[in-house]
Chain A
């Protein structure tokens, strides 16, 4: 699917980029992070499923390879442009209307904490149409409902091409309920984010 002017315009005016990924999404997210330029002018919020008690080196690895500042989200942290935020393990990340993060330790959703749905749904309310959201590879249905809510609120919503995803279930679930306005492969996603 070639990138039309519509998608490019919507991406360009987005102030926030949300990325949700689970099994099979790590490499892709890593490359996305690596390719951001310092003139991005948006806040990036990344939710990756991961296990508690395993001190993954995600933040360190990402930070070392990113040209823009990257941090793990802390409670009540104010969201700034040109910063990449990573959702911490064993918490849900919510977004307050005043543009700060809130955390929550309530029940896992789809066996996941962080849950992509929780962040996407609260972002839909807090940001309305001001964001772009991408749902990548994963082995469950987390993120689909949240992506739908984002779409209903006028956000640009994208699912990774299921045929290309290592684990197609997550993008498929989103496509099934018509939550994704666009279905793009990783090359197209890179292309868009470079615009």
Chain B
């Protein structure tokens, strides 16, 4: 039985995590290991780097770190990902938050902004745009630059358009974009009430109070202990009776937070903060 030589051992991964923390200030120590390791191996293979090459480049080439960050933080996102989620927000959350004077929304881990603009479109379609404000945050400054532009390739828009059709909103996705050549730009009035800024869920603190926090398919990259810590941050960042949305396969596992949130929609993972 020949046991394969590992491309990257668990110890080597820990070594990289330490090094990144020291030299670049990002703490990946509580990230889910299987996914993180796969991403790192992918970079090594694409760059034809050994573990030692990678270490050396990470220390000596500041420019390379951005590339590394782009690769290990998964930036795959869609507009109207899980269309049934948007339907549920429209039916179960909008009637409630529409009674507020101002609606503040936080899309945590927003990557290239697709979720922020999906929510902006939803707010627009429900006549709440003028009193709503959406904050998109991410650890990756390059992704935030993309998000601020609000420009997506037609190829992407095509794949998002199918989601839109299932979301229950009227018209089509392209109604909200200006299309030129092979790119689509989100309508400027939809950008007005959005703000993109850097925030690291691992290390940064509360920055505002929200009626709705959406953090979908971000927890999957974190180990359970870190998930707990971030749930605390979200709980404290929510207005009384504010809503928390998680990815459809993510779960609040601890009794502590199960008691602090009421389930609004178990399939779409929408919760409401309750007083304790």
| Across-interface contacts of A128 in B (CB, < 8 A) | 3
Q: Does A49 have its Cβ within 8 Å of any Cβ on chain B?
A: no
Instruction: Give the tally of cross-chain contacts (CB within 8 A).
Output: 76
Nearest Cβ in chain B — how far from A154, in angstroms?
Answer: 4
Which of A104, A128, A149 lies at the interface centre, i.e. has the most chain B CB atoms within 10 A of its CB?
A: A104
A126 pairs with B34, CB closer than 8 A: yes
Of the candidates B3, B6, B35, B224, the one whose C-beta lies within 8 Å of that of A94 is B35
Residues of A within 8 A of B221 (CB): 104
Please determine whether A91 and B74 come into contact, CB atoms closer than 8 angstroms.
no
How far in angstroms is the closest Cβ of chain B from A12? 17
A60 on interface, CB distance cutoff 8 Å: no
Q: How many residues of B contact A (CB 8 A)?
A: 33
A159 interface contact, C-beta 8 A:
no
Contact between A53 and B162, CB atoms less than 8 A apart: yes
Complex CA–CA separation, A124 to B48 (angstroms): 23
Contact A118:B38 (CB < 8 A) given known A53-B166, A97-B10: yes
| A139 smallest CB distance to B (angstroms) | 21
Which one of B32, B76, B81, B248 lies within 8 Å of A106 (CB-CB)? B76
Within the complex, which residue of A75, A76, A95, A149 is in contact with B4, where a contact is CB–CB below 8 Å? Answer: A149
A76 touches B34 (CB 8 A): no
Taking a contact as CB atoms under 8 Å apart, the answer to whether B39 and A106 are in contact is yes
Known: A102-B220, A152-B3. A74 touches B250 (CB 8 A): yes
Docked pose: A53 CA to B1 CA in angstroms: 43
Closest to B5 in A: A152
Tell me if A122 is interfacial: C-beta within 8 Å of chain B: yes
**Bound Cα distance A137, B44 (Å):** 32
Chain A residues positioned under 8 Å from B219 (CB to CB): 75
Chain A neighbourhood of B250, CB < 8 A:
74-75
